Amino acid sequence: MSKKHILYQGAEAEICLSEYMGFKVVKKRRLKKTYRLRYIDSYLISSRTKEEAKLMIDARRSGVSVPVIYDVDLRDGVITMEYIDGKRVKDILNSLSEKERKTLCREIGVNIARLHNNDIIHGDITTSNMILMDDRVHFIDFGLGEKNHEIEAKGVDLHVLMEAIESTHSKYSDCFEYVLEGYKKELEGDADLVVKKIKEIVKRGRYR
């Protein structure tokens, strides 16, 4: 097995830099949970790995840039994928010019709409899970994703990004409005219904 360099260690998965057939790759390995019965743990790891890989493939077919998948190991819960050698949107958004931010955020909105047009819910849309490379936004980490056609799910997906922008890029909170501009332009359904749902979610949060 080739040497690996851990990029991120979370509660659910380990992300590491490695090599595969001469390519620089990222390996995402789902972690075993000792508190679960072994057969249940194995089933969950396998099914969630399969679902994540399928969502990534569907996202690419939808016209959204995601890492190319080279290998999927369902038994060990490992997805071997392309290493996107770019910059996280989280790290660069605040330093861009107003024009650049507007262009980037609109592109983000367009891509989210492409996902939603195909009922793909990312589940964790934050600027940490977007990488800019060759002037294209690449979406990563579909580990919390699902297929869901409901307006509620799409509203929640966008609400996560809205909160991420407000907390991490508070000086440029208008960025979310630019995201919605791109989203409305590309969404095949009624974008106003999704925007209305976002507002409902915000109100629910306020009155808990």
pLDDT tens digits, one per residue of 114-123:
999 999 999 9
* Percent of the residues in the chain that have a pLDDT greater than 90, as a whole number: 88
CB 29 within 8 A of CB 77: yes
- 65 and 96 inside one domain: no
Lookup result for tokens 């590309």: 186
All residues at 6 or more sequence positions from 128 whose CB lies less than 8 Å from its CB, including other chains: 88, 89, 90, 164
Residue that is last in its domain, among 82, 101, 134? 82
- 59 and 17 inside one domain: yes
105, pLDDT greater than 90: yes
Residue 194: predicted pLDDT: 98
Catalytic residue status for 141: no
pLDDT tens string 50-76: 999 999 999 999 999 999 999 999 999
According to DSSP, the residues that pair with 18 across neighbouring strands are 25
User: What's the CATH number where 135 sits?
Assistant: 1.10.510.10
- 180 and 98 inside one domain: yes
Number of independent structural domains in the chain? 2
- Number of Cα atoms under 13 Å in the Cβ half of residue 173: 7
- 48 and 120 inside one domain: no
pLDDT band at 1 (very low <50, low <70, confident <90, very high): very low
189, pLDDT greater than 70: yes
Q: Which residues form the domain of 125?
A: 87-206
Residue that is last in its domain, among 39, 62, 82? 82
- 106 and 197 inside one domain: yes
- 53 and 142 inside one domain: no
User: What's the CATH number where 10 sits?
Assistant: 3.30.200.20
- 127 and 64 inside one domain: no
Residue that is last in its domain, among 82, 97, 125? 82
26, pLDDT greater than 90: yes
Q: To the nearest 5 percent, what fractions of the chain are helix, strand and coil?
A: 50, 20, 30
CB contact burial 54-66 (16+ within 10 A = b; e otherwise): bbbebbeebebbb
Catalytic residue, from 41, 91, 119, 124: name it: 124
Residue 7: predicted pLDDT: 85
- For the chain, the average pLDDT equals 94
Residue 10: predicted pLDDT: 81
